[in-house]
Structure 1
Amino acid sequence: MALANNLTAILNLLALLCSIPITASGIWLASKPDNECVNLLRWPVVVLGVLILLVSACGFIGAYQYKETLLAVYLCCMAILIGLLLVVLIFAFVVTRPDGSYQVPGRGYKEYRLEGFSNWLRENVVDSKKWGKIRACLADTNVCPKLSQQFITADQFFSSSSITPLQACSLLSLSLSSF
């Protein structure tokens, strides 16, 4: 039993040490000037880091000092965190599974339409407040200036098969903002 507790204590100490940079990066993101891409991540990263810190501290203390109550709390909290992670992963998979892409004749890349994505994603992107934030986030990535450096002529661009969905989305957002 002592080996299991020592192993649990060591693993939780490592998790505790790993939670410090996670929390620090969330605080660092919170101190950055407003950027729509970073704005979505700042507080969830801080909360995740603090939760990992608390749960791993509970597991470390419980395993190191043989406190069964703390170990029980640790196991329940860890089960809840793992369950939440699975829910988030399944949700992300279901929402992003249909990718909205279709092949265009004469083009080496795929184009994307909102009709091909899930209803939840469409409803959240079509909202004008959210679309403005998404467009600002895409504009901050400097994807389009990099494309203009990569492709000299329009024929090179249209025949390329190396255009990523982010680059296609950036082009779409810039073309929609010009209307």
Structure 2
Amino acid sequence: MLNFSNTLIGILNFVTFLLSIPIIIAGIWLSKQGVTDCEHWLEKPAIVFGVFLLMISVMGLVGSCCRVSWLMWVYLFIMFLLILLLFGCTVFAFVVTNKGAGEVLSGKGFKEYRLGNYSNWLQERVSGRTWNNIRSCLVSSEYCSKYKKHYADHNDTMFYKEKLSSVESGCCKPSNDCGFTYISPTNWTKTEKGVPANPDCNAWNNDPNILCYNCQSCKAGFLQNIKKSWKKVSIANIILLIFLTVVYSIGCLAFRNNRNGDYYNKY
């Protein structure tokens, strides 16, 4: 029974060791094959996380199966820090994504998004050079071109009923405040009613490489998409936290078994 915890922690770490390999391979593949900023920004975190997972798995595997007490102690210490870090990141993600939601429009199937509705921390993430990289990514991925093809046969009545994604609503069409006349999903005629209060109206351009990529609504739509993703990741983090806590508890038992084995070997 005393060896059960050592065996179980060894099995769990062997599984995580196997999982780390495809993560590292995916990161290396992205660094070689990725041609847009969308792909490149993921490569380093993927490689770092994969290598970290591999190293800690090897430590737990050797420490439990070979009964190396000092290695198990280091393994448990790193695991404890990882649990604290993951807990902090999860709480932080919930806090910064707590604000912000789409604005329902009367008679429209889609929503509109305002940058000021989101947390200050998120707003800072879509400013300056960072936003230039994101915008470049959106343009090179032809996001709005695919949107244009999808709704190409829609007249204005049909289009206004569509439930557009946050990025489509924010980046690929002008704001509803502008009152522009619909020609096609990415082609709108500006009105002659003067400059609207919403600055996004002046930022809009029918050029497929410009559209509303410079608009505040585009940043807000992108943040809404990030917010939804972070909510899902936070839920996954909670499950991972429970798993890591169980592994950590079993690891503590394995460490105690190693210490007891060392004690009996002396006498």
| TM-score bin, normalised by smaller chain | 0.7 to 0.9
Q: TM-score, normalised by structure 2?
A: 0.61
Q: For the Cα contact (< 8 Å) 2:101–2:113, is it kept in 1?
A: yes
Q: Cα offset for 1:34?
A: 4.1
User: Between the two proteins, what is the percent identity of the paired residues?
Assistant: 35
The answer to whether the 8 A contact 1:100-1:115 is kept is no
Mark the CA change 1:99 to 1:141 in structure 2 (over 3 Å): closer, same or farther: farther
Aligned residue number for residue 21 of structure 1: 22
- State the match for 2:84 in structure 1: 83
Computing the radius of gyration from Cα coordinates, the structure with the larger value is 2
Structure ranking higher on relative contact order (CA contacts 8 Å, 6+ apart):
2
- Cα shift readout 1:15-50 (whole Å, capped 9, x = no counterpart): 111101111111111113442112221111111001
User: Is 1:32 aligned with 2:20?
Assistant: no
- 1:155 and 2:157 matched: yes
SS at match of 1:40: helix
Query: When you count helix as a share of all residues, which structure comes out higher?
Result: 1
Q: Is the 8 A contact 1:138 1:170 kept in 2?
A: no
What is the CA RMSD across the aligned residues, in angstroms? 2.0
In structure 2, the CA distance between the partners of 1:58 and 1:32, relative to structure 1 (3 Å rule), is same
Q: Please, what TM-score do these two structures have when normalized by structure 1?
A: 0.88
Q: Distance in 2 between matches of 1:24 and 1:139?
A: 27
Question: For the structure 1 residues 22 and 134, does the alpha-carbon distance in structure 2 shift closer, same or farther, using more than 3 Å as the test?
Answer: same
CA distance in 2, matches of 1:159, 1:65: 64
Letter in 1 for 2:131: W
* Long gaps (5+) in structure 1: none
Aligned to 1:132: 132
Residue 105 of structure 1 is matched in structure 2 by 106
Aligned pair count? 176
Query: Residue 175 of structure 1 aligns to a residue in which SS?
Result: coil
1:167-178 → structure 2 map (5 Å cutoff): 167-171=168-172, 174-177=211-214
